[in-house]
């Protein structure tokens, strides 16, 4: 399955190789710079979390493809949905290509969605690529009476949240405000993993999660969970029977005062985060030749049979995206009319009962 999903990604590699073929002199300079250096993966989440697992996987393979073969280490800077780590990359970290950011997928959109304390321009960050195009899910423990979105419009569901303007809060809140669901958020969990533990203990009824995260934690999710909807632009192959959020964006569901087309647009904007998935980036002032070299290393690493084999052993989904794809998608969100962004900002702020 992983090999089939990588075919689309490989087409971009051939084009990139052609661009790099004329830069022998610059490649030599890059090799000289990285030889003997230490390259840091700056993870915007906790050690042991899903973002860390993906970042560690990449770190074990990408070094073989970076000219000069630098040593790689991990550094953790959790907090504020990876905004703290992203601020560090943009304003404090060395701008020489020795720091790779591994943030929460919501971080590149924090400035546009109104998160306080975001002191960076996502368009100026050099995005290397992403390891997965994620599909989100609204999952509810199987013993709870709510089994569908229609049920969630009638009956309250208590869900866990890490902090405002992260997946765990944005999506349930946007569902409430556009489709009239009754998700009640309990804030303050330190991570998605902590929310999953709370769900197992019965402290909460459900959560927003990525399919990959849910399936890894709950391999028997089909018998243990009710999946109310998929939060993505396209269905996951493992859930052909579970409706997309767009299946509910119709007059009888849409909140009074909103149009179907407006709600569809809000969801397409917010779900760009899911496409970005598991992103990696470099500071805004990193020299172009090092950006090119690290993007090429990323592309080579994710096609490496050893990398793919280890991902399968870890049960990690892979759907790699190249850096320019991510760059373009973030720029498209940045170009949305201010009135649209301001309205979306209002609709993802949870205000309680």
pLDDT at 352: 80
Q: Give 50-74 pLDDT, tens digit per residue.
A: 899 999 999 999 999 999 999 999 9
Residues 263 and 311 in one domain: no
Residues 22 and 116 in one domain: yes
| Cβ proximity of 266 and 178 under 8 Å | yes
Residues 265 and 146 in one domain: yes
Residues 129 and 140 in one domain: no
Predicted confidence (pLDDT) at residue 198 exceeds the cutoff of 50: yes
Query: pLDDT band at residue 232, thresholds of 50, 70 and 90?
Result: very high
Number of domains the chain is built from: 2
pLDDT at 172: 97
Beta-carbon contacts of 4 under 8 Å, excluding residues fewer than 6 positions away, are: none
**Average pLDDT of the segment spanning 236-256:** 97
Q: Give 105-121 pLDDT, tens digit per residue.
A: 999 999 999 888 999 99
pLDDT at 14: 46
Q: Look up the CATH number of the domain holding residue 314.
A: 3.40.190.150
Residues 223 and 264 in one domain: yes
**Element (DSSP H or E) covering residue 50:** helix 50-62
| Cβ proximity of 283 and 90 under 8 Å | yes
Beta-carbon contacts of 256 under 8 Å, excluding residues fewer than 6 positions away, are: none
The answer to whether position 189 is within a domain reads yes
Residues 97 and 189 in one domain: no
Look up tokens 């790689």; give the residue: 72
Residues 147 and 170 in one domain: yes
Residues 216 and 93 in one domain: no
Predicted confidence (pLDDT) at residue 25 exceeds the cutoff of 80: no
Query: pLDDT band at residue 19, thresholds of 50, 70 and 90?
Result: very low
Give me the chain's average pLDDT, please.
92
Q: Give 309-344 pLDDT, tens digit per residue.
A: 999 999 999 999 999 999 999 999 999 999 999 999
Structure tokens belonging to residue 333: 């969100």
Predicted confidence (pLDDT) at residue 289 exceeds the cutoff of 90: yes
The answer to whether position 85 is within a domain reads yes
For 121, the domain range is 2-133+277-341
Predicted confidence (pLDDT) at residue 15 exceeds the cutoff of 70: no
Residues 168 and 112 in one domain: no
**Average pLDDT of the segment spanning 272-284:** 96
Residues 153 and 199 in one domain: yes
pLDDT at 353: 63
Residues 144 and 77 in one domain: no
The answer to whether position 350 is within a domain reads no
**Residue 111 and residue 122: Cα distance in Å, rounded?**
8
pTM of the model: 0.85
The answer to whether position 104 is within a domain reads yes
**Average pLDDT of the segment spanning 249-262:** 96
The answer to whether position 346 is within a domain reads no
pLDDT at 24: 53
pLDDT at 50: 87
Residues 217 and 322 in one domain: no
**Average pLDDT of the segment spanning 35-60:** 95
Q: Look up the CATH number of the domain holding residue 145.
A: 3.40.190.10
């Amino acid at each position: 399955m992983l090999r089939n999903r990588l075919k689309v990604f490989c087409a971009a590699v051939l084009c990139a190789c052609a661009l790099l073929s004329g830069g022998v002199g610059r490649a030599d300079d890059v090799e000289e710079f990285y030889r003997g250096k230490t390259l840091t993966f700056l993870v915007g989440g906790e050690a042991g979390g899903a973002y860390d697992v993906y970042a560690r996987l990449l770190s074990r393979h990408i070094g073989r493809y970076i000219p000069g073969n630098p040593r790689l280490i991990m550094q953790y800077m959790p907090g504020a949905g990876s905004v703290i780590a992203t601020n560090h990359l943009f304003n404090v970290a060395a701008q020489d290509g020795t720091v790779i950011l591994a943030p929460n997928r919501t971080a590149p959109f924090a400035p546009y969605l109104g998160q306080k304390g975001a002191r960076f321009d996502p368009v100026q960050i050099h995005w290397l690529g992403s390891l997965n195009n994620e599909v989100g899910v609204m999952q509810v423990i199987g013993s709870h009476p709510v089994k569908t979105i229609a049920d969630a419009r009638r009956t309250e569901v208590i869900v866990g949240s890490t902090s405002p303007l992260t997946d765990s809060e944005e999506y349930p809140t946007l569902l409430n405000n556009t489709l009239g669901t009754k998700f009640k958020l309990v804030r303050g969990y330190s991570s998605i993993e902590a929310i999953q533990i709370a769900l197992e203990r019965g402290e909460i009824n459900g959560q927003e999660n990525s399919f990959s995260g849910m399936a890894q934690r709950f391999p028997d999710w089909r018998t243990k969970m009710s999946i109310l909807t998929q939060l993505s632009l396209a269905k996951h192959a493992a859930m052909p029977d579970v409706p997309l959020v767009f299946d509910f964006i119709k007059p009888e569901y849409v909140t009074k005062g909103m149009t179907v087309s407006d709600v569809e647009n809000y969801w397409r904007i917010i779900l760009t985060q899911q496409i970005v998935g598991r992103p990696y980036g470099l500071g805004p002032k990193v020299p172009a030749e090092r950006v090119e070299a690290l993007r090429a290393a990323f592309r080579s690493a994710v096609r490496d049979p050893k990398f793919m084999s280890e991902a399968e052993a870890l049960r990690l989904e892979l759907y790699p995206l190249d850096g320019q794809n991510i760059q373009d998608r973030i720029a498209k969100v940045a170009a949305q009319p201010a009135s649209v962004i301001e309205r979306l900002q209002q609709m993802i702020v949870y205000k309680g009962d």
